[in-house]
Chain A
Amino acid sequence: MMPLKCCDRCWHGPERPCPDFITCFSEGPRCHADATCSEKAKSRLSALRRESVPRPAIFVGTGSCGLGAGADKTLAAVRDYVSSKGIDADVLEVGCIGMCTAEPMVDIQLPGRARVSFGKVTGDKVPALLDSMLEGKVPFDLVLYQFRSQTLEPFEGVLRQDQHPFFAPQTRRVLVNCGIINPASIGEYLARGGYQAMALGLRSRTPAELCDTVEKSGLRGRGGGGFPTGTKWKFAAKEAADQRYLVCNADEGDPGAFMNRAEIEGDPHRLLEGMAIAAYAIGATKAYVYIRAEYPLAIKRLNEAIAQAKAMGLLGRNILDSGFSFEIVIKQGAGAFVCGEETALLHSIEGRRGMPRPRPPFPAVKGLFGKPTVINNVETFYNLPGIVLNGPEWFASVGTEKSKGTKVFALSGRVARTGLAEVAYGTTVRQVIFDIGGGIPEGKAFKAVQIGGPSGGCLPTEHLDLPIDYESMKSAGAIMGSGGLVVMDETTCMVDLARFFMDFIQRESCGKCIPCREGTRRMLGILTHISEGRRGEKGTATLERFQGVMYMQRLANVIRDTSLCGLGQTAPNPVLSTLRYFREEYEAHVFERRCPAGACHELLSYRVEAELCKGCGVCVKSCPSDAIIGSLKQPHEILQDKCIACGTCVETCRFGAIRAA
Chain B
Amino acid sequence: MIQIQVNNKTIEAKPGEMLLGALRRAGIQVPTLCNMEELLPTGACRMCVVEVEGAPALVPSCAFPVREGMKVKTHSQRAVRARKTILELLLANHPDDCLYCPRNGSCELQSLAENLGVRQRRYTGLKSQHKIDTSSPSLVRDPDKCILCGKCVRVCEEVQGVACLDFIGRGSQTTVGTAFNQGLNVSSCVACGQCIRVCPTGALSEQSHFRAMLNAIDDPEMTVCVQVAPAVSVTLGEEFGIKPGADIAGLLNAALRRLGFDYVFDTGFSADLTIMEEGSELVHRLQNGGRLPMLTSCSPGWIKFVEQFYPEMIPNLSTCKSPQQMLGAVVKGYFAERQKIDPAKIFTVSVMPCTAKKFEAGRAEMVRGDMADIDLVLTTRELARIIRMRGIDFNALEAETADTPFGERSSAGKLFGATGGVMEAAIRSAHFLVTGKEMENLKVQPVRGLEGIKTATVKVGEVELNVAVVSGLANARKLLEEIRAGRKDLHFIEVMTCPGGCINGGGQPIGTDLEAVKARMQALYRIDREEGVRVSHANPSVQRLYSEWLGKPMSDVSHKYLHTHYHAREVLK
A residues sitting closer than 8 Å to B (CB atoms) are 336, 353, 355, 357-358, 360, 506-515, 517-522, 525, 544, 547-548, 551, 554-555, 558, 560-564, 569
Contact = CB atoms under 8 A, between A and B. Distances in A.
A384 B170 CA distance: 36
B346 interface: no
Contact of B85 (A336, A510, A554): A554
Nearest to A540: B124
A547 B122 contact: yes
Scoring B46, B49, B86, B147 by chain A CB atoms within 10 A of each residue's CB, the highest score goes to B46
Contacts of B78: 561
Contacts, number: 113
A641 to B, nearest CB: 28
Contacts of B147: 514
Contact of A561 (B41, B58, B174): B58
23 contacts: A360-B65, A507-B170, A508-B171, A509-B172, A511-B167, A512-B148, A514-B90, A515-B46, A515-B85, A518-B93, A521-B171, A521-B172, A525-B124, A547-B124, A548-B123, A548-B124, A554-B81, A555-B123, A558-B81, A558-B86, A561-B49, A564-B43, A569-B57
B44 A336 contact: no
10 closest pairs, A vs B, by CB?
Answer: A511-B174, A358-B43, A358-B63, A518-B89, A525-B125, A558-B85, A521-B172, A509-B171, A562-B46, A522-B123
B148 A517 contact: yes
A561 B82 contact: yes
Interface in B127-184: 147-148, 150, 166-167, 169-174
A521 B125 contact: yes
Contacts of A548: 123-124
Contact of B171 (A507, A547, A555): A507
B86 A515 contact: yes
A512 B47 CA distance: 13
Contacts of A360: 64-65
A512 B124 contact: no
Given A360-B65, A510-B170, A569-B57, A518 B122 contact: no
Interface of B: 41-47, 49, 57-58, 60, 63-65, 78, 81-82, 85-86, 89-90, 92-93, 122-126, 147-148, 150, 166-167, 169-174
B63 A514 contact: no
A514 B46 contact: yes
Contact of B92 (A509, A512, A515, A522): A522
A508 B169 CA distance: 11
Nearest to B45: A514
B46 A525 contact: no
Contact of A544 (B57, B124, B166, B171): B124
B170 A509 contact: yes
A560 B47 CA distance: 14
| Secondary structure type dominating chain B contacts | loop
A355 B150 CA distance: 12
Given A514-B44, A517-B174, 20 more contacts: A355-B167, A358-B63, A508-B171, A513-B43, A513-B45, A514-B47, A514-B90, A514-B147, A515-B89, A517-B148, A518-B89, A518-B90, A522-B89, A522-B92, A558-B85, A561-B49, A561-B57, A561-B58, A562-B57, A564-B46
B170 A511 contact: yes
B148 to A, nearest CB: 7
Nearest to A551: B122
A564 B47 CA distance: 11
A511 B173 contact: yes
A551 B46 contact: no
| Secondary structure type dominating chain A contacts | helix
Contact of A564 (B44, B90, B124, B171): B44
B42 to A, nearest CB: 7
A522 B85 CA distance: 12
Contacts of A554: 81, 85
Contacts of B49: 561-562
A514 B89 contact: yes
Contacts of A355: 167
B123 A562 contact: no
Contacts of A547: 122, 124
A525 B126 CA distance: 8
Contact of B89 (A508, A519, A561): A519
Contact of A560 (B57, B92, B172): B57
A358 B89 contact: no
A347 to B, nearest CB: 12
Contact of A506 (B46, B89, B171): B171
A506 B169 CA distance: 13
A511 B124 contact: no
Contact of B82 (A510, A512, A562): A562
A67 B419 CA distance: 67
Contacts of B58: 561-562
A357 B57 contact: no
Contact of A518 (B92, B167, B169): B92
A238 B41 CA distance: 26
A320 B147 CA distance: 56
Contacts of A510: 170-171
B156 to A, nearest CB: 15
Contacts of B89: 514-515, 518-519, 522, 555
Contacts of A555: 85, 89, 123
Contacts of B172: 506, 509, 511, 517-518, 520-521
Contacts of A357: 42-43
Nearest to B166: A353
Contacts of A507: 170-171
A511 B46 CA distance: 13
B188 to A, nearest CB: 19
Given A360-B65, A561-B58, A564-B44, A522 B169 contact: no
